[in-house]
């Protein structure tokens, strides 16, 4: 009886851990997707000739990221 209770507890503990892991993975995926969207927007704005300050204001990326993007475009 005690062994069965321990087995049940262990299964529930593992399930809870898996659920937390899935939630963290989903959150990380959402964050990466949002960051990728910001970078794509910044690239489009760079290609359109928008000023750096406007790109920084709208995309909320760092100045360093913007400079890396600018260099990747050869600007």
- Residue located via tokens 């964050």: 31
CA dihedral 51, 54, 55, 60 (to 10 degrees): 150
Q: Which of 71, 39, 75 is nearest to 58 (CA)?
A: 39
Task: Supply the pLDDT for residue 14.
Answer: 81
Query: Quick one: how far is CA 65 from the chain centroid?
Result: 15
Among residues 75, 18, 6, the alpha carbon closest in space to that of 43 is found at 75
- Given a cut of 80, whether residue 10 has pLDDT beyond it is no
What's the pLDDT tens digit per position in 32-75?
999 999 999 999 999 999 999 999 999 999 999 999 999 998 86
Q: Regarding predicted confidence, which is higher, 67 or 1?
A: 67
Cβ atoms within 10 Å, residue 32? 10
pLDDT tens digits, residue range 20-36? 888 888 889 999 999 99
């Amino acid at each position: 009886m005690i062994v069965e209770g321990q087995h049940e507890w262990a299964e529930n503990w593992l399930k809870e851990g898996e659920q937390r892991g899935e939630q963290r993975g989903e959150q990380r995926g959402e964050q990466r997707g949002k960051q990728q969207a910001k970078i794509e927007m910044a690239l489009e704005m760079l290609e359109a000739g928008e000023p750096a300050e406007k790109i920084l204001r709208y995309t909320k990326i760092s100045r360093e990221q913007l400079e890396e993007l600018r260099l990747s475009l050869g600007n």
